[in-house]
Amino acid sequence: MNQTIDKVKKDLSHLEIITDPNQITKLSLDYYHFSPILHKQLQDKRGDIVIRPTTEEEVIQVAQTCVKYKVPITVRGAGTGNYGQCIPLEGGVILDMTKMNQILWLEQGVACVEPGVKMAAFDKLAKQTGWELRMAPSTYRSATIGGFIGGGSVGMGSITYGQLRDRGNLQALRVVTLEDEPCLIELRGDEVQKVNHAYGTNGIITQLEIPLAPAYPWAEIIVIFDDFMQAARFGQGLGESDGIVKKLITVHATSICRYLHQLKDYLPENKHAALVMVSEYDLEAFRDLVHEYNGKISYFKTAEEASHRTSLLEYTWNHTTLHARSIDPSITYLQTFYFTLDKVEHFYDHFGDEVMIHLEFIKFQGKVIPAGLQLFHFTTEERVNEIIRYHEEKGAGIANPHTYLLEGGGRKTIDSPQLNFKKEVDPYSLMNPGKMMIQNNV
Amino acid sequence: MNQTIDKVKKDLSHLEIITDPNQITKLSLDYYHFSPILHKQLQDKRGDIVIRPTTEEEVIQVAQTCVKYKVPITVRGAGTGNYGQCIPLEGGVILDMTKMNQILWLEQGVACVEPGVKMAAFDKLAKQTGWELRMAPSTYRSATIGGFIGGGSVGMGSITYGQLRDRGNLQALRVVTLEDEPCLIELRGDEVQKVNHAYGTNGIITQLEIPLAPAYPWAEIIVIFDDFMQAARFGQGLGESDGIVKKLITVHATSICRYLHQLKDYLPENKHAALVMVSEYDLEAFRDLVHEYNGKISYFKTAEEASHRTSLLEYTWNHTTLHARSIDPSITYLQTFYFTLDKVEHFYDHFGDEVMIHLEFIKFQGKVIPAGLQLFHFTTEERVNEIIRYHEEKGAGIANPHTYLLEGGGRKTIDSPQLNFKKEVDPYSLMNPGKMMIQNNV
């Protein structure tokens, strides 16, 4: 391999190439260590070199070179994923897209960006025109748009716009293929699903057209409750309040609140909490809703006030897991579609303190459902699988975060259009090899 | 009564008072004649005089005078309702609010208006600031905002924001009471429900604070289908497409399409049609959805093109009934919450051509449901009641449009806060007397 890599380096010597082992280590990994199972499997995986292209033309050159020498290529954004999406299983080239960070155009309702554009930075500009991203993960400040499309699926904004995979939430993208003669393909509309959430196994994304959402001034609020299920019902009720515009509805059981030290002044002992973002224009209605559910507002910041502080976003989604693990590294997590409050209640009662419930309400096929990222102390792989099995037997959907396989997570199968596209654009299976289970078996 | 009315006229001689019988006739009625049952009951009802106040101060003077002489007072906007909401059952003063038409302020996300502001005129101004009304009826061009709040409940926009009664869709209002000393009461948040959709029985609305929606460029589109249920499933599917921003989803069975002569070039024989408004930013996704459901786009106008033509809105909601009745005056209608497509299919099969199905998809408690305004040929009152009963027995909700009683329509009961408020602000039962069933029985 070393000789081959040397040839790649020589052919691409005009590009930014990183060979420092510490840098390579850093740029080979992501937040896979949230999972002890992935930690064991992935901790030693490294790329051989990192290349940082700055233009589409440079990406094509990298593709040509990797095809020429049959070198694996693993694309990454900011590396804020949690399942080793961008960890190279077979070495080779790490393609770091963070320098391809141009906003190509920004219009009413739609923008076209390079994949390395950071989400929060984009929003700062977009908000000046009255728009913002429809969806973003809790790693919003550092995550790239391309990385989110390649490896993400939901986030703040999903309570209104659903999942990234929902038709309309990604309008078009352009990819460079890994064919003998790498070329550019533009995919529009439904076609984008060939590449959406494919962990970079299906072509190198070089441009994305993304729909935007109207930018509201989002008030950030914590509401506390005596009873966990009351907090959960409040979350569902807010989600279903069609007259109240919102962006985030998180509910943490008290067992989770105790890990959020930075918010401890607003999270009294034994209380359960909803962390929400609501349009400032709808606050009167929101307060009436809080009153109906016997909640108490313990933290309230206008959008302007919130902009000077750490956003509540960073205590939701997988940042919750991050905070808990910073206090107790034995903690790991699951990702669950509960679908109904009845199921939430069942699991809450069944597992007690073993599985601490963290809910995120999202739109799922037009309906508001509770999803969640529960926390628990890792004991054995068997116990993790038992917990997953129990959830599935009772009708919850688990997007297993303890596998790096594309089919092991949220998508249980790879649809044939995605697989066919893979065969077309990556005939030598050079792209992020080992991540597609079906590809491994072929 | 005549002598009393003369006293009222004298006391209020400085105001605009209409006494011309033709004008009084016109300003006593609404579109109650869509119902042959209401037609029989209401056709002869007239006010004695019409007063057109221009300020809140003048409204207070009218209230004082009506209380002084115990004269009934019936408030009206543009009179575009369909259940005789503003038809005076016991004569007296008609209070025509159309001259109270000032926009008091118009800010990001919220506006404060007088009740006589016309909806389309308001939107024309609001759109310059990037906002528009969340909801409007098909009588949008002539209807007033106060009239819609007093007598309406849903309309275009309800596929996103639900019903007017949903928390947040009316932020505050100010009413003049009919007490011995009429005074002004401001109601905010949940309190507005005391007056919302109360047919003007609960105080005279003089100001409204209304939440706004981001103004999108709405493309207007007709999609045709071979099969009615396929058109209905498309409507549901579009409603549940969280990544596609929309404002209107109407589905007409072919039996209804034949009454829409002005659209005949786009509604081929034996085809069923969806009339929709979709954000121009989401058109690619929309076209993919049409393709998935095997629909065919027969009419497509950008927002700009649509602005120079009659909006498709005027072939939806109760304008559909208007068009059908202009061709066949024996036609009347129902208003139905079907809740599920299964029920739609059941009624479609059960009634065949007798009950022609017109669906409007709306948000109802966070879910997308099919509602409808079916058309049928009126035969007897008994048959109307049989049809209603059958729907109710099978689990549909009927908001009976053949009654002028508040409790007879969408709201089957008057909640006690509304009744208590009535007792407080209208101790002499002067406001639109006869419209509250419970009041009649007291």
Distance (Å) from the alpha carbon of A351 to chain B's nearest alpha carbon: 29
Residue appearing with tokens 């024996």: B330
How is residue A207 annotated by DSSP? E
* Residues A203 and A287 both lie in one domain: no
Question: Does the residue A56 lie in any domain?
Answer: yes
Backbone angles phi, psi at A226, to 5 degrees: -75, -30
The pLDDT score that the predictor gives to residue A163 is 97
The pLDDT score that the predictor gives to residue A2 is 85
**Secondary structure (3-state) at A309:** coil
Question: Does the residue A241 lie in any domain?
Answer: yes
Residues of B in contact with A288 (CB under 8 A): 167, 189-190
User: Quick one: CA dihedral A146, A147, A149, A154, positive or negative?
Assistant: negative
Q: Per the structure block, which two tokens stand in for A378?
A: 């890792």
Question: Does the residue A278 lie in any domain?
Answer: yes
The pLDDT score that the predictor gives to residue A439 is 62
* Residues A249 and A364 both lie in one domain: yes
Helix (H) or strand (E) holding A119: helix A119-127
Residues of A in contact with B240 (CB under 8 A): 365-367
* Residues A117 and A20 both lie in one domain: no
Question: Could you give the CA distance from residue B133 to residue B154 in angstroms, rounded to a whole number?
Answer: 12
Compare CB distances from B211 to A130, A171, A282 and report the shortest one's residue: A282
Question: Could you give the CA distance from residue B176 to residue B281 in angstroms, rounded to a whole number?
Answer: 44
- The closest of A312, A313, A359, A308 to A333, measured between CA atoms, is A359
Instruction: Decide: residue B20, CB within 10 A, 0-12 exposed, 13-18 middle, 19+ buried.
Output: exposed
Q: Per the structure block, which two tokens stand in for B237?
A: 């599917």
A69 vs A413, which has greater pLDDT?
A69
Question: Does the residue A224 lie in any domain?
Answer: yes
As for how many domains chain A has, the answer is 3
Contacts for A389 with CB less than 8 Å, ≥ 6 apart: none
- What does the pLDDT average to over B31-56? 96
As a whole number of Å, the end-to-end CA separation of chain B is: 24
Distance (Å) from the alpha carbon of B400 to chain A's nearest alpha carbon: 24
Assign A412 a pLDDT band (cuts: 50, 70, 90). low
Write the CA distances from A362 to A242, A249, A366, integer angstroms: 14, 8, 10
User: Quick one: CA dihedral A301, A303, A309, A310, positive or negative?
Assistant: positive
pLDDT digits (tens, 9 = 90+) for A123-160: 999 999 999 999 999 999 999 999 999 999 999 999 99
pLDDT digits (tens, 9 = 90+) for A57-81: 999 999 999 999 999 999 999 999 9
Last residue of a domain, one of A39, A70, A96: A96
Q: Is the pLDDT of residue A437 over 80?
A: no
Last residue of a domain, one of B61, B96, B131: B96
Question: Does the residue B273 lie in any domain?
Answer: yes
CB A212 within 8 A of CB A109: yes
- The closest of B256, B214, B260 to B231, measured between CA atoms, is B256
The pLDDT score that the predictor gives to residue B438 is 67
pLDDT digits (tens, 9 = 90+) for B299-323: 999 999 999 999 999 999 999 999 9
Q: Is the pLDDT of residue B1 over 90?
A: no
Residues of B in contact with A366 (CB under 8 A): 239-242, 367-368
The pLDDT score that the predictor gives to residue B416 is 77
* Residues B127 and B179 both lie in one domain: yes
Cβ <8 Å between B244 and A363: no
* Residues A265 and A177 both lie in one domain: no
- Domain holding A199: CATH number? 3.30.465.10
Q: Domain of residue A7: give its range.
A: 2-96
Question: By percentage, how much of chain B surpasses pLDDT 70?
Answer: 97
Question: Could you give the CA distance from residue B34 to residue A245 in angstroms, rounded to a whole number?
Answer: 36
pLDDT digits (tens, 9 = 90+) for B82-93: 999 999 999 999
Last residue of a domain, one of B79, B96, B113: B96
Question: By percentage, how much of chain A surpasses pLDDT 90?
Answer: 94
Q: Is the pLDDT of residue A442 over 50?
A: no
Mean model confidence pLDDT for chain A: 96
- What does the pLDDT average to over B324-348? 97
Residues of A in contact with B214 (CB under 8 A): 214
- The amino acid present at B151, given as its one-letter code, is G
Question: Could you give the CA distance from residue B382 to residue B39 in angstroms, rounded to a whole number?
Answer: 16
Assign B419 a pLDDT band (cuts: 50, 70, 90). confident
- The closest of B274, B270, B279 to B297, measured between CA atoms, is B274
Question: Does the residue B403 lie in any domain?
Answer: no
Residue appearing with tokens 């963290």: A358
Cβ <8 Å between A189 and B243: no
pLDDT digits (tens, 9 = 90+) for B373-417: 999 999 999 999 999 999 999 999 999 999 999 887 765 666 678
Cβ <8 Å between B108 and A289: no
- What does the pLDDT average to over A85-91? 96
pLDDT digits (tens, 9 = 90+) for A194-240: 988 889 999 999 999 999 999 999 999 999 999 999 999 999 999 99
How is residue A118 annotated by DSSP? B
Question: Does the residue A417 lie in any domain?
Answer: no
* Residues B157 and B247 both lie in one domain: no
CB B135 within 8 A of CB B225: no
* Residues A331 and A265 both lie in one domain: yes
Q: Is the pLDDT of residue A290 over 90?
A: yes
Question: Could you give the CA distance from residue A256 to residue A264 in angstroms, rounded to a whole number?
Answer: 11
A198-224 in b/e form (b: 16+ CB < 10 A) is: bbbbbbbbbbbbbbbbbbbbbbbbbbb
- The closest of B248, B263, B253 to B298, measured between CA atoms, is B263
Q: Is the pLDDT of residue A117 over 60?
A: yes
- What does the pLDDT average to over A165-189? 97
- Domain holding A353: CATH number? 3.40.462.40
How is residue B371 annotated by DSSP? E
The pLDDT score that the predictor gives to residue A407 is 81
Q: Per the structure block, which two tokens stand in for A130?
A: 């009255």
Contacts for A324 with CB less than 8 Å, ≥ 6 apart: A256, A259, A331, A375
Assign B437 a pLDDT band (cuts: 50, 70, 90). confident
Cβ <8 Å between B109 and A168: no
Question: Could you give the CA distance from residue A329 to residue A36 in angstroms, rounded to a whole number?
Answer: 10
User: Quick one: CA dihedral A117, A120, A122, A125, positive or negative?
Assistant: negative
Mean model confidence pLDDT for chain B: 96
* Residues B57 and B181 both lie in one domain: no
Assign A315 a pLDDT band (cuts: 50, 70, 90). very high
* Residues A341 and A229 both lie in one domain: yes
Residues of B in contact with A284 (CB under 8 A): 168, 171-172, 188-189
pTM of the model: 0.96
Write the CA distances from B246 to A155, B126, B129, B220, B237, integer angstroms: 22, 19, 20, 10, 12
Question: Strand B204-214 to strand B184-188: parallel, antiparallel, or no bridges (unpaired)?
Answer: unpaired
Q: Is the pLDDT of residue A317 over 90?
A: yes
- What does the pLDDT average to over A382-393? 97
Question: Does the residue A58 lie in any domain?
Answer: yes
Distance (Å) from the alpha carbon of B340 to chain A's nearest alpha carbon: 13
Q: Is the pLDDT of residue B441 over 60?
A: no
CB A243 within 8 A of CB A284: no
The pLDDT score that the predictor gives to residue B310 is 97
- What does the pLDDT average to over B54-59? 98
Has the ipTM of the complex gone over 0.90? yes
Question: Could you give the CA distance from residue B87 to residue B70 in angstroms, rounded to a whole number?
Answer: 18
Question: Strand A93-96 to strand A49-52: parallel, antiparallel, or no bridges (unpaired)?
Answer: parallel
Crossing angle between the packed helical segments B341-351 and B381-393, to the nearest 10 degrees: 140
Question: Could you give the CA distance from residue A81 to residue B363 in angstroms, rounded to a whole number?
Answer: 35
* Residues A264 and A361 both lie in one domain: yes
Assign B442 a pLDDT band (cuts: 50, 70, 90). very low
* Residues A383 and A248 both lie in one domain: yes
- Domain holding B88: CATH number? 3.30.43.10
Q: Is the pLDDT of residue B145 over 60?
A: yes
Q: Is the pLDDT of residue A401 over 90?
A: yes
Question: Could you give the CA distance from residue B185 to residue A111 in angstroms, rounded to a whole number?
Answer: 47
Residues in chain A: 442
**Secondary structure (3-state) at A212:** strand
* Residues B360 and B291 both lie in one domain: yes
Question: Could you give the CA distance from residue A402 to residue B141 in angstroms, rounded to a whole number?
Answer: 57
pLDDT digits (tens, 9 = 90+) for B199-255: 999 999 999 999 999 999 999 999 999 999 999 999 999 999 999 999 999 999 999
CB A37 within 8 A of CB A402: yes
Question: Could you give the CA distance from residue A407 to residue A437 in angstroms, rounded to a whole number?
Answer: 6
pLDDT digits (tens, 9 = 90+) for A328-356: 999 999 999 999 999 999 999 999 999 99
